[in-house]
Chains A and B, each alone.
Chain A
C-alpha cells in the first residue's frame, strides 16, 4: 500500500516536472525541472528494486551531466526568440515524433493484452539479492578486461582535453597583487611644472 502511494506521488511529481521542462520559458528553470524529473525517476526505480541504476542516474545525470548542462546554459547567452523562430516550420516534425512515441507507448501497454508477456520466465529474486553486487561481480570478473580498458579510454579523454585546452599564453595581462601593494608614489606620479601659456 505504501509502495502504491509512493509510486503515485513520485509519478505525479515526475509528470509535473516533465511538463515544467517544456513549458517554462527560462532555460535555467527548464534544466532544473529536468533535474527534478531525473531525481523522481530514480526514486521510482528504487521502488522496483533497481537501486544501482537509480544511484547511477542521480550520480551521473543529475550530478554531472545536468550540472554541466546548467553551466553551459548559464554561460551561453541564448536568444529565446531566435530559437522559437523555426517553431512552426518544424512543428510537423514534432507532431510526427509525438505520434511515433504514442504508438510505441500503446504497443508496450497493449503487449500483455495481445498475449506477449515480457515477464514470462522471470524468477522473483530472493530478498538478499543485490543488483550492485551482481553487476560488480560481472564487471570485475568476466568483463574486467573491457572495464579496465574503458577506464584507459576515459584517461585518454582527460589527457587530450587538458593537453588541447590548457595553455600558458604569452603576454597575458595578469594582476600582480604584491607589486600593486608595494607601489610607491614616485613610480606612478610625475609632477610636471607647466609654464602658463603667454597670450599672443
Chain B
C-alpha cells in the first residue's frame, strides 16, 4: 500500500524513540513473567541486547541529512541529535555492563534495567526536542527514572537520603524550568523553539530576562553547577555506585541537549543575557569544584566535585555563544564522560561482596595487588586532569580555543588555573596507587570480560588523544 509507506516515511526518523518505548514494555512484561527472582540475570541480558539493536535502529533511522521536524515540530531529527543519542546509548550500555556484577551481588530486581531504559528514552526525547513541551517531558522522564534508581537500594539509609535530596532539589529545578518556560511562552506566544527564536526582540524585556534567568538556574541545577551544586556530592556519595555511574555519564548528554536546544537555538537572539549568567556559574563551578575536591577522602565524593568542576568547563564552552564554543562543549562532554565512565567502572570492578572500594585509602598500593586495574585508573585520571597525550587535554584545549576566539581571556586564565589545581587531586590518586604501601585489601572479583571492556574504555581515552581530529571534526560538523 503506497499510502502506508507514505505515512511511515513522515515519522520514520522517530523510530528510535518508538523502538525504545516498545522495548521497555516488552522487557517489563518478560521480567514479570519469566525473569524476576527466578532468572535474575535475564532482564539485564535482554536489556543489553535491546540496546545493541537500539544502536542499529538509531543509526538506521535517526541519520537524516539535515534538520527534519516531525510531529508538527515537537520532534527534531538532526545530526546533533543522532550524535547525542548514540553517545548516550553507548554509555548507558557500558554502564550497565560494568554494573552487572554489583547488581547481581545485591540481587537488584529487573525494574532497575527498565528504569535505565526509560531514562535513556528521556535522553532521546531531550536530544530531539523541538518544542518546549517535549523538552519538559524529556526532562521529567529522565529525572523520574533517576530518582527511582537512586532510591533503589532500600536497605541503605544513605541512599534513601540521597534520593530524597535529589528528588526535592530536582523537583524545585523542574519547577524553575517550568516557570521560565511559562514566561518565555507568555512573552513570545509559542512553544515551538524555532518560533521562539523568530519572535525574540533584540532588546529583551524584563520578563524575558527573568524567564531566561529561571531557565539558566534550572539548567545549572540539572548539570550540578555552582551555586546549585549542593546535591551533587551527597547524591554521588549516597547512591549505590552502579547508579552513580549511570547518573554521572549518560544524563550529561541530556543536559547538554537541554542547554543547547533551549539557549543556543531557542534564545539565541538574546545570547548576551544568558552567556553572562553562564560565565559566572561556570567560573564558580571551576573554583568550588576543584578546591573542594582536594579535601575529599572518599573517591566518589572527589569525583562528584570533579564533575562540578568539569561542568564548569562545559558551561564555559556555552558562554562563547558561537558554534565553535558549542562544538567544543559537546567534545568536552563526550570526552569527560568517557573518563568518568572508566573511573566509576574501576570502583565497581575493584569492589567485591561486602567491600565497596570507594575510599581513597582503598586504592593505596593497588598497583601491587592489581596492576591492570591501576593502569586503567591512571589513564582515566590523566585524561580527566588533561595530561597530554590523553584526550582530556584536547578537550580543554578546544574550550580554551573557542574562548580565545571571542576574546574572553580572563575565562581562559581562570580555567587554566583551575585545571592546574584539579591536576593535583587526580594525580594524588595515581600516587596512592603506585607509590604507597599496600594494605592487605581484597582484590575485586570482576570477570575477565569486564576487565577487557574497561581496558578498551581506557585505551579509547589514549587513542582519541593520539588521533583527536576525527571526533572533534564530527562535533564541529554536527553543530556547524
Task: Please indicate the chain B residues that have their CB under 8 angstroms from the CB of A150 in the complex.
Answer: 137
* B residues near A149, Cβ cutoff 8 Å: 125, 134, 137-138, 141
Across the interface, do A145 and B141 meet the contact criterion of CB distance under 8 Å?
no
In this assembly, does A163 line the interface, its C-beta being within 8 Å of a C-beta of chain B?
A: yes
Whether the Cβ atoms of A156 and B14 lie closer than 8 Å is no
Pairwise interchain contact B115-A163, C-beta atoms closer than 8 A: yes
Q: CB distance B28 to A159 under 8 Å? A: yes
In the complex formed, the residue of A with least CB distance to B136 is A146
A132 to B154, CA, bound (A): 43
Given contacts A142-B72, A150-B137, A152-B24, contact A163 B111 (CB under 8 A): yes
Distance in angstroms between the alpha carbons of A152 and B141 in the assembled complex: 8
- Residues of chain A within 8 A (CB-CB) of B297 are none
Any A CB within 8 A of the CB of B121: yes
> Please, which residues of chain B bring their CB within 8 A of the CB of A153?
137, 140-141, 144
**How many contacts A-B (CB < 8 Å)?**
68
Interface footprint category on A: 10 to 19
Residue of B nearest to A144 (CB): B71
Q: For the complex formed, measure the closest distance between the CB of B88 and the CB atoms of chain A, giving whole angstroms.
A: 17
B133 and A146 contact, CB distance less than 8 A = yes
> Within residues 154 to 200 of chain A, which ones have a CB less than 8 A from any CB in chain B?
155-157, 159-160, 162-164, 167
In angstroms, Cα B138 to Cα A160, docked, is: 17
Q: Output the nearest chain B residue to A164 by Cβ-Cβ distance.
A: B151
A162: which B residues are within 8 A, CB to CB?
111
- Residue of A whose beta carbon sits closest to that of B134: A146
Contact A148 B21 (CB under 8 A): yes
B141 touches A163 (CB 8 A): no
Residues from chain B with Cβ under 8 Å of A155 in the complex: 24-25, 118
- CB of A62 to closest CB in B, whole Å: 26
Whether a CB of chain A sits under 8 angstroms from the CB of B360 is no
* A15-49, CB < 8 A from B: none
Given known contacts A145-B74, A159-B28, is B118 in contact with A164 (CB within 8 Å)?
Answer: no
Q: Determine if B115 and A160 form an interchain contact, defined as CB atoms under 8 angstroms apart.
A: yes
A164 touches B148 (CB 8 A): yes
Residue of A nearest to B112 (CB): A163
Are A145 and B145 touching (Cβ within 8 A)? Answer: no
B141's nearest neighbour on chain A, judged by CB, is A153
CA A155 to CA B134, docked complex, whole Å: 17
Q: Interface 1/0s, chain B 84-118, versus A by CB < 8 A?
A: 00000000000000000000000001011011001
CB neighbours (8 Å) of A142 from chain B are 71-72
Interface string of B47-77 (1 = CB under 8 A from A): 0000000000000000000000011101100
Asked if B147 is at the interface (CB within 8 A of a chain A CB), the reply is yes
Q: Which residues of A contact B24 (CB under 8 A)?
A: 152, 155
Chain A residues, CB < 8 A from B74: 143, 145-146
> Does B152 sit within 8 A of A, measured CB to CB?
yes
- Which chain A residue lies CB-closest to B137? A149
* A100 to B173 Cα, complex, angstroms: 28
- Chain B residue at minimal CB-CB distance from A158: B28
Q: Which residues of A contact B138 (CB under 8 A)?
A: 149
Report B-chain residues with C-beta under 8 Å of the C-beta of A145: 14, 70-71, 74-75, 134
Residue of B nearest to A142 (CB): B72
Question: Which of A155, A156, A162 has most chain B Cβ within 10 Å?
Answer: A156
Contact B137 A156, beta carbon cutoff 8 Å? no
Within 8 Å CB of A143, what residues of B?
71-72, 74, 133
How far is the CB of A53 from the nearest CB of chain B, in Å?
20
* Contact residues in A for B121 (Cβ distance below 8 Å): 152
CB distance from A149 to the nearest CB of B (A): 5
Give the chain A neighbours of B154 by CB distance below 8 A.
Answer: 164, 167
Q: How far is the CB of A163 from chain B (nearest CB, A)?
A: 4
* Chain B 121-163 interface 0/1 with A at a Cβ cutoff of 8 Å (1 = within): 1000100000101100110110011011001101000000000
**Cα distance A83–B145 in the bound complex, in angstroms:** 36
A157 to chain B, nearest CB (A): 6
Nearest CB on A from B331, distance (A): 29
In the bound complex, what is the Cα–Cα distance between A162 and B151 (angstroms)? 12
CB neighbours (8 Å) of B125 from chain A are 149
Q: Which residues of A contact B75 (CB under 8 A)?
A: 145
Closest-CB distance, B414 to chain A (whole angstroms): 40
Are B14 and A157 touching (Cβ within 8 A)? no
Residue of B nearest to A149 (CB): B137
B21, B70, B134, B144: which contacts A160 (Cβ < 8 A)? Answer: B144
Are B148 and A160 interface neighbours, CB within 8 A? yes
Kindly state the separation between the CA atoms of A72 and B111 in the bound complex, as whole angstroms: 27
- Shortest C-beta distance, B357 to chain A (Å), equals 27
Which residue of A has the minimal Cβ distance to B155? A167
* Neighbouring A residues of B131 by C-beta, 8 Å: 146
Taking a contact as CB atoms under 8 Å apart, the answer to whether A157 and B137 are in contact is no
Show 21 residue pairs from A and B whose CB-CB distance is below 8 angstroms, ordered by the A residue.
A143-B71, A143-B74, A144-B71, A145-B70, A145-B75, A146-B74, A146-B131, A149-B134, A149-B138, A149-B141, A152-B21, A152-B141, A153-B140, A153-B144, A155-B118, A156-B115, A159-B111, A160-B144, A160-B145, A163-B115, A163-B148
4 more CB-based (< 8 A) A-B contacts, given A143-B72, A143-B74, A164-B148: A142-B72, A145-B70, A159-B111, A160-B115
Query: Which A residues are within 8 Å of any B CB, using their own CB?
Result: 142-146, 148-150, 152-153, 155-157, 159-160, 162-164, 167
Query: Which residues on B are within 8 Å of A, measured CB to CB?
Result: 14, 21, 24-25, 28, 70-72, 74-75, 109, 111-112, 114-115, 118, 121, 125, 131, 133-134, 137-138, 140-141, 144-145, 147-148, 151-152, 154
Would you list the 3 A-B pairs with minimal beta carbon distance, nearest first? A160-B148, A163-B111, A145-B71
